[in-house]
């Protein structure tokens, strides 16, 4: 069969309230043109994030009842740990309430002033946790990964030659090497196994641990199966194990590729570091057999991990974004190519050349999508990354808009509706205007900044 169907049927539904364009114009104005300040009830299709927004399966809902809420030694922890180690056989599995807590613990231990932490691309919370420790976060993705139109199959790859020069230049000041799979900030692009192995080998040559930010590990593994020579006949589970066999630990948000609504973990091989991490965990999250989670959350994650590596699910999952990307290309909307795993990324800078980067073309697209179709998307560009630590502002390397697809939530007709809204917006794109920020916090400004619409272009 040519049609890749949603490999599930729907048992529970959440009604969506359909609103009018006029209503949404007022709602967005009241939210100061920041989609994070909208109420989710006022959103028709919510593509703000794929994080924590998965539909859980009947099996996940049923294991919630088996959650054991004991403070210490809960069997739910044992099941969680076993499910993680089935895929990522690290020695120490430390549960946290979400991914950023794992990052916070790791970088509070190995970061610090004067240190440099390289990655293909740090995501915003990772960067923020690195910087909060006093260290500098450095992105060394391959050049192709910065070019939205380039169709390299593994645009999330680390530039290994640059990493080599970087490690030499900063020798003695680099505590670890990281890689994010898939590369969220760079367009949901995968990292090849060859690149993971080469990055790890280089890190180890400098006696440094290699950590993977594994939020979207299953999507990355399926891309490897589809695109990397020698992996077509290997199972996703096998590929996942091989990916993590190169690493000395990982940070994870179970809100992505574990189908959970909350949760995460820090996994480590090093006993001493794990001991220090557990001490820190107790200070800020909880006892090491629950971290910041309820026992039932650990159960949902354990079950979710068995479902996320299902290859029928992954085929459908990757096809969703690819389908939307194909339709947008037909309309002439510039998108990051090839389609990413969890999201469609629109190149707002290329689509709206009449809006300069410091007037936030991505925010203009976000506002247009909401007003026209009630779609909530997220700017990943100059709003998110433009403010520097010294207070200055400069254009981010790209001005993208991310349409992140929640897992197992929307259907093909929702996808067709998204495509139709883009078609409508494309007709009026010359009339979209830029924005000015009139109120912003010192860091992570995209979450709470308030915007004012600049005079409309003609
Ligand atoms: N690493 C990556 C690559 C992420 O995408 C995220 C979260 C995190 C770490 C942090 O995990 O949310 O559980 O604390 N990304 C979400 C997003 C928020 O919308 O992309 P968390």
The DSSP string of 12-25 is S--------HHHHH
Atom of ligand 1 minimally distant from the CA of 101: 14
Asked if 308 and 300 touch (Cβ cutoff 8 Å), the reply is no
Asked if 28 and 371 count as a contact pair (C-beta separation under 8 A), the reply is: yes
Q: Which atom of ligand 1 is nearest to the CA of 255?
A: 13
What are the structure tokens assigned to 21, written together?
């364009």
Per-residue pLDDT of the chain (458 residues; tens, 9 = 90+): 888 999 999 999 999 999 999 999 999 999 999 999 999 999 999 999 999 999 999 999 999 999 999 999 999 999 999 999 999 999 999 999 999 999 999 999 999 999 999 999 999 899 999 999 999 999 999 999 988 899 999 999 999 999 999 999 999 999 999 999 999 988 899 999 999 999 999 999 999 999 999 999 999 999 999 999 999 999 999 999 999 999 999 999 999 999 999 999 999 999 999 999 999 999 999 999 999 999 999 999 999 999 999 999 999 999 999 999 999 999 999 999 999 999 999 999 999 999 999 999 999 999 999 999 999 999 999 999 899 888 999 999 889 999 999 999 999 999 999 999 999 999 999 999 999 999 999 888 999 999 999 987 54
What letter would DSSP give residue 290?
A: T
What CATH fold (topology level) applies to the domain 58-307?
Answer: 3.40.640
265 lines ligand 1 (CB under 6 A): no
Which residues fall within 8 angstroms of residue 11, CB to CB, at 6 or more apart? Answer: 58
Regarding the beta carbon of 214 and ligand 1, being less than 6 Å apart is answered no
Cβ of residue 220 lying under 6 Å from some atom of ligand 1: no
Cβ atoms 84, 93 nearer than 8 A: yes
255 pocket-lining for ligand 1 (C-beta < 6 Å):
yes
Judge contact between 281 and 94, C-beta under 8 A. Answer: yes
All CATH 3.90.1150.10 domain ranges of the chain, comma separated, are: 21-50+310-453
3-state secondary structure of 343: strand
Q: Atom of ligand 1 at shortest distance to CA of 50? A: 19
CA of 99 to the centre of ligand 1 (A): 6
> 256 C-alpha vs ligand 1 centroid, how far in Å?
8
Alpha-carbon 156 to chain mean position: 12
Among 107, 128, 255, 284, which is best to mutate for testing ligand 1, by the most ligand atoms less than 8 A from CB?
255
Residue 404 CA: nearest ligand 1 atom is: 19
Q: Which residue's C-alpha comes closest to atom 9 of ligand 1?
A: 99
Residue identifier of the C-alpha nearest atom 12 of ligand 1? 99
Distance from CA of residue 102 to its chain's centroid? 15
Confirm or reject: Cβ of 123 under 6 Å from ligand 1.
Answer: yes
Q: Provide the pLDDT for residue 458.
A: 47
| φ/ψ bin of 188: left (φ > 0), alpha (ψ from -120 to 50), beta (otherwise) | left
The answer to whether the CB of 182 falls within 8 A of the CB of 138 is no
Can you tell me the distance from the alpha carbon of 286 to that of 299, in angstroms, rounded to the nearest whole number? 17
Looking at the CA of residue 102, tell me the nearest atom of ligand 1: 14
The residue whose CA has the least distance to atom 21 of ligand 1 is 99
Specify the pLDDT at position 236: 98
Burial class (CB in 10 A: 0-12, 13-18, 19+), 15: exposed
Containing H/E element for 213? strand 210-213
Q: Is the CB of 46 under 6 A from ligand 1?
A: no
Locate the ligand 1 atom nearest the alpha carbon of residue 183 and give its number.
3
Which residues face 249 on adjacent strands?
211, 268
Of 100, 121, 191, best ligand 1 pocket probe by most atoms within 8 Å of the beta carbon: 100
Quick check: CB of 288 below 6 Å from ligand 1? no
pTM over 0.85: yes
Q: Does residue 100 line the site of ligand 1, with CB under 6 A?
A: yes
Is the CB of 51 inside a 6 Å radius of any atom of ligand 1? yes
pLDDT given at position 1: 85
- Residue ranges of the chain assigned to CATH 3.40.640.10: 58-307
Ligand 1 atom 8, closest CA: 99
C-alpha to C-alpha distance for 220 and 156, rounded to whole angstroms: 10
SS3 state of residue 352: coil
pLDDT at 284: 96
Q: For domain 21-50+310-453, say whether CATH 3.90.1150.10 is its number.
A: yes
C-beta of 98 in contact with ligand 1 (< 6 A): yes
Q: How many CB atoms lie within 10 A of CB 443?
A: 13
- Distance of alpha carbon 234 from alpha carbon 237, whole angstroms: 8
- 194 exposed, middle or buried (CB, 10 Å; 0-12, 13-18, 19+)? middle
Beta bridge partners of 453: 435
Which pLDDT value is given to residue 187? 84
């Amino acid at each position: 069969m040519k049609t890749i169907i949603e490999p599930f049927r729907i048992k529970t539904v959440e009604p969506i309230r359909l609103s009018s364009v006029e209503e949404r114009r007022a709602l967005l104005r009241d939210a100061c043109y920041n989609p994070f300040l909208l109420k989710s009830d006022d959103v028709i299709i919510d593509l703000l994030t794929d994080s924590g927004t998965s539909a859980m399966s009947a099996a996940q809902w049923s294991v919630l009842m088996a959650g054991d809420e004991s403070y210490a030694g809960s069997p739910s922890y044992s099941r969680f740990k076993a499910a993680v180690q089935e895929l990522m056989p690290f020695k120490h599995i430390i549960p946290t309430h979400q991914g950023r807590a794992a990052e916070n613990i790791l970088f509070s231990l190995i970061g610090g002033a004067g240190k440099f932490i390289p990655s293909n691309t740090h995501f915003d919370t990772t960067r923020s946790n690195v910087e909060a420790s006093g260290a500098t976060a450095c992105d060394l993705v391959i050049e192709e990964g910065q070019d939205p139109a380039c169709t390299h199959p593994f645009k999330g790859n680390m530039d290994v030659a640059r990493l080599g020069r970087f490690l030499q230049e900063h020798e003695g000041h680099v505590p670890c090497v990281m890689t994010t799979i898939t590369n969220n900030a760079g367009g949901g692009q995968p990292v090849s196994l060859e690149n993971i192995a080469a990055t790890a080998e280089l890190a180890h040559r400098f006696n440094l641990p290699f950590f993977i930010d594994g939020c979207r590990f299953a999507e990355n593994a399926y891309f490897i199966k589809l695109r990397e020579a020698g992996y077509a006949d290997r199972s996703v589970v096998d590929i996942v194990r091989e990916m993590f066999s190169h690493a000395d630990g990982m940070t994870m948000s179970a809100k992505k590729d574990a189908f959970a609504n909350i949760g995460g973990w820090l996994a480590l091989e090093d006993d001493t570091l794990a001991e220090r991490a557990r001490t820190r965990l107790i200070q800020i999250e909880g006892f090491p057999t629950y971290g910041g989670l309820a026992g039932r959350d650990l159960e949902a994650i354990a079950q979710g991990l068995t479902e996320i590596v299902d290859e029928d699910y992954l085929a459908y999952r990757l096809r969703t974004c690819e389908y939307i990307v194909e339709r947008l290309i037909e309309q002439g909307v510039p998108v990051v190519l090839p389609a990413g795993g969890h999201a469609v990324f629109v190149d707002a800078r290329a689509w709206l050349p009449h809006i300069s980067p410091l007037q936030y073309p991505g925010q203009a697209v976000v506002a247009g999508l909401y007003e026209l179709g009630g779609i909530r998307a997220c700017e990943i560009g100059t709003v998110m990354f433009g403010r520097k630590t010294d207070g200055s502002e400069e254009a981010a390397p790209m001005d993208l808009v991310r349409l992140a697809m929640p897992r197992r939530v929307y259907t093909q007709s929702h996808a067709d509706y998204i495509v139709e809204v883009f078609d409508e917006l494309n007709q009026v794109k010359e009339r979209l205007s830029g924005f000015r920020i009139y109120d912003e916090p010192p860091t992570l400004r995209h979450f709470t900044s308030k915007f004012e619409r600049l005079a409309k272009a003609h």
